[in-house]
Structure 1
Amino acid sequence: MTPTITTFTQQRVTVADGVALNVAVGGAGSPVVLLHGFPQTHLMWRHVATDLAADHTVICPDLRGYGDSDKPAATDGRTYAKRTMAADVVALARALGHDRFALAGHDRGALVAVRAGLDHPGAVTHLAALDVLPTLDMWEVMHGTSAAVGFHLYLMAQPPGLPERMIGASADAFFGHFLDGWATDPDAIPADVRAAYLKASREAVPSIVADYRASATVDVEDDQADRLAGHRLRMPVTVLQQDWGTALGFDAAARWRAWAPNLVHNTVSCGHFMAEEDPGEVVKALRGLLSR
């Protein structure tokens, strides 16, 4: 088992046929589900989760295909669709006794959280997204040489075979590139945590690639259908982002507001891994969201 959050209990919960998620649970009170990003596990929430656990039941799963959760073969494009992964999260919360819950996600987990909010509005009471754009918007704003920062998005969007072989041949270098390059404070991810992330990622190359491939195919289709239908996130939404919208030439808050009318959007001064680099700011934002 990969490391978990101190004082939290770790268990496996079946959420779909043949799929169980590894989950850490702690605290007591109204439920908050925290979804990790790439290339990480639920351990990224260790600081935030322990703070919130003072007065909330905090649920931190490894997403399908990541960490110690099951990694089903991608038999079709829907195996790692955000719609499928969002259904996992709702099933997990229900299995733990919660029909309604607040939901926060970082990076890939934020995309799952957004899909959960769109598909299961009766279950998600509050929603937070950390340092990401909705899938459809992400592809719309990536263009020209500035898109080079997202080279991995295009690599993992390729048909099965080549991306898995290339990444698998040098997995630690590939995943380590993001852990090192996206953090402004290298001490925020200590050596033992970094090693845990690398081990978990190298053991999950096919499923991680399948997750990203879905975001270039079926996830875009789902977002397009929701945009055309006028579906929106009607619950209170908080977004924390670096100010990379300026560099890429778009208004991130406006992009989010089109999906979330009840929005609080803030930029942060830390790097991408904000729950580890500035957990106090993330806790403040989440507690503010939960009070709305």
Structure 2
Amino acid sequence: MTIAIPGFDYQRVTVEDDVTLNVAVGGTGTPIVLLHGFPQTHVMWRHVAVDLAADHTVICPDLRGYGASDKPAARDGDGGTYAKRTMATDVVTLVGKLGHQRFALAGHDRGALVAIRAGLDHPATVTHLAILDVLPTLDMWDVLHGSSAAVAFHLYLMAQPPGLPEQMISASADAFFGYFLDGWARNPRAIPADLRAEYLKASREAVPSIVADYRASAGIDVEHDRADRAAGNRLAMPVTVVQQDWGAALGYDAAALWRSWAVDLEHRTTSAGHFMAEEAPDEVVTTLRALLAR
């Protein structure tokens, strides 16, 4: 890791016998955890984290399988190594070891899926929940259909059995991950060249674990979501969702989907691109501070 969040301290925290996470911690006050997305690391939160650290303890880990965190080999069979339930437990364990029993949680992209699962599995621990630019896993698969699903080709590729996806992506890793960094940003200058290079390096060194993360979202994560829906489980804490207007693009009502999961919901769209914490950090900070005040 060559790029760090300014003013933050770094440490490694063991969350499971064979898994240690890299985490940046800064500020003082009530804790908020920020979880990164694909194909990035915790550094995507650098602008937001520094602002929030003025009056909060801000905790920014690399998820298991990403960045400088450990990348355990996926177990055969059930996909549990990279299930969002497992990754959410990582986060709760990590924050507990840092001395906090309750915390606010914000996630982007893959980190948002982990955050949703943490909110469902640990409702007494997560006080507030912010979700940036995803749908819950079960709904994500349900809204993808026909030719419009081509926008999510990577989901289908990485859902395939082990072997071919890893080989294909590893053979052209920089082109694969760079496609998303370049194509999903409305303001390419938001990710400077040195950071883009670091994201690419971190991703090409983590191809098996990244694919395992996505593969879990086509299997065990769907099972967990279905079980929660059948049981009527919902997110009980205040929830804010900020998304690009994917509902209009793909023909569904995003706010209605979210209302089925969240008791206390604020949902809105943004004009920023997918990497909104880097493209529009002031907007994200304002959103998070408003959520924390609820």
Calculate the TM-score normalised by the size of structure 2.
0.99
Cα deviation, residue 137, structure 1? 0.2
What is the aligned-residue identity percentage?
Answer: 78
Equivalent position SS for 1:159: coil
CA distance in 2, matches of 1:137, 1:189: 29
Equivalent position SS for 1:235: strand
Instruction: For 2:123, give the aligned amino acid.
Output: P
Moved beyond 2 Å, runs of 4+? none
- Is 1:105 aligned with 2:107? yes
- Is 1:57 aligned with 2:60? no
CA distance in 1, matches of 2:41, 2:110: 11
**What does residue 191 of structure 2 align with?**
189
**What does residue 263 of structure 1 align with?**
265
**Mapping of 1:2-41 within 5 angstroms?**
2-41=2-41
Equivalent position SS for 2:236: coil
**What does residue 42 of structure 2 align with?**
42
**Mapping of 1:108-119 within 5 angstroms?**
108-119=110-121
Instruction: For 1:71, give the aligned amino acid.
Output: K
Alpha-carbon contact 1:2-1:68 (below 8 Å) kept: no
Deviations 1:243-287 (A, max 9, x none): 011110000111111000200001000100000000010000000
Instruction: For 1:139, give the aligned amino acid.
Output: W
**Mapping of 1:162-241 within 5 angstroms?**
162-241=164-243
Alpha-carbon contact 1:101-1:125 (below 8 Å) kept: yes
Alpha-carbon contact 1:241-1:267 (below 8 Å) kept: yes
Alpha-carbon contact 1:2-1:200 (below 8 Å) kept: no
Deviations 1:76-97 (A, max 9, x none): 3100000000000000000000
Equivalent position SS for 1:236: strand
**What does residue 160 of structure 2 align with?**
158
Cα deviation, residue 2, structure 1? 4.3
**What does residue 93 of structure 2 align with?**
91
CA distance in 2, matches of 1:4, 1:55: 20
Unaligned runs of 5+ in 1: none
CA distance in 1, matches of 2:18, 2:215: 21
Deviations 1:171-225 (A, max 9, x none): 0000000000000001000001101100000000000000000000000000000
CA distance in 1, matches of 2:6, 2:167: 35
Cα deviation, residue 3, structure 1? 2.0
Cα deviation, residue 17, structure 1? 1.2
**What does residue 245 of structure 1 align with?**
247
Deviations 1:83-133 (A, max 9, x none): 000000000000000000000000000000000000001110000000000
CA distance in 1, matches of 2:48, 2:25: 13
- Is 1:145 aligned with 2:147? yes
- Is 1:280 aligned with 2:282? yes
CA distance in 2, matches of 1:282, 1:271: 12
Alpha-carbon contact 1:157-1:213 (below 8 Å) kept: yes
Unaligned runs of 5+ in 2: none
CA distance in 1, matches of 2:28, 2:198: 27
Equivalent position SS for 2:82: coil
